[in-house]
Amino acid sequence: MAHVRNAAVAGSFYDADPENLRREVDFLLNEAKAPKLKGQIRGLVSPHAGYMYSGSVAAAAYRILKGSSYEAVFLVGPSHREYFNGVTIYPGDAYQTPLGQIPINKEFRASLIEQSPIIQLSESGHRAEHCLEVQLPFLQRVLGEFSIVPMIIANQTKEYCLNLGNAIAAVARKRNVLLIASSDLSHYHPYDDAVKLDQQVISHVATFDEHELMDRLDNEKVEACGGGSLVAVMHALKLLGANRSHVLLYSNSGDVTGDKSAVVGYCSAAFLQTN
């Protein structure tokens, strides 16, 4: 019997009904602007709040994937509910959403575990976690058939983030894979303060500078819920030959609800290889 990770936040972060979810995701994708980007899309940054809040920002990233295909999608996100050291990859056969099952790429998973002792096979961090799950319906609508390597990083230290980036790069070299960093930005600051904080993180994404971003996260100069995911993915992408970033869209929860007293920030971006 297949070991499947069932959807944990269907009905709360997004619609649990398959037809309604399909319509919602397609509407968000169709509304998103699709800039003409030069180069091969190697990676994305996408937020992980409920679709009501960050769906349009996520859609701005996923819209640009239409017509693309990949051997596998590597997803890296933070653990919101469980604490552990290192990185975990789900040990089962698939992740489930209302739109169907997505197989886990066991070849890449095994290679990553062999590559670094910090990467472990475990359900820890995956059971009730939303940060990767909310990415999947978008991928299902733009890519069709694909496999995933779902990774959760809990203790987002510089050592773990760069180590994970090195491992991903070693395994993905000369392979056609997409890397996705799941991250929201600052949390619960007044609107204007949040925008200032978020723009600093976005500037490091725009300049493709994962080391400066990591240092400023460590020193608590900036905030990102999933900052370690950003650092790990940016580091891996740079090693894999990506050489350009493009920030796609920024907004925060205050733009949606009108309540600007304490907001959460969202950003999407693409990383490209131009030769």
The model's pLDDT over 208-241, given as tens digits with 9 standing for 90+, comes to 999 999 999 999 999 999 999 999 999 999 999 9
Into how many domains does the chain fold? 1
Q: Is 204 helix (H, G, I), strand (E, B) or coil?
A: helix
Strands, E assignment, the chain:
4-5, 40-46, 72-78, 87-89, 94-97, 100-103, 119-121, 148-153, 177-182, 187-189, 244-252, 263-273
- Residue 118 CA to residue 160 CA, distance in Å, equals 7
- Residue 160 CA to residue 86 CA, distance in Å, equals 6
Give the residue, 275 or 165, on which the prediction is more confident. Answer: 165
Give the range of the structural domain holding residue 62, as residue numbers without chain letter.
4-273
Residue 2: predicted pLDDT: 81
> If you average pLDDT over residues 184-203, what whole number do you get?
97
Residue 101: pLDDT band (50, 70, 90) is very high
Residue 124: pLDDT band (50, 70, 90) is very high
CATH number at residue 54: 3.40.830.10
- Residue 143 CA to residue 146 CA, distance in Å, equals 7
**Cut 0.85: pTM above it:** yes
Whether 186 has a pLDDT exceeding 80, the answer reads yes
Residue 16: predicted pLDDT: 98
Residue 155: predicted pLDDT: 87
Residue 34: predicted pLDDT: 84
Q: How many CB atoms lie within 10 A of CB 86?
A: 21
The model's pLDDT over 41-88, given as tens digits with 9 standing for 90+, comes to 999 999 999 999 999 999 999 999 998 999 999 999 999 999 999 999
Residue 1: predicted pLDDT: 73
Whether 114 has a pLDDT exceeding 90, the answer reads yes
Percent of the chain topping pLDDT 90: 95
> If you average pLDDT over residues 163-178, what whole number do you get?
97
Residue 275: predicted pLDDT: 81
- Helices 106-115, 158-172: inter-axial angle, 10-degree rounding: 130
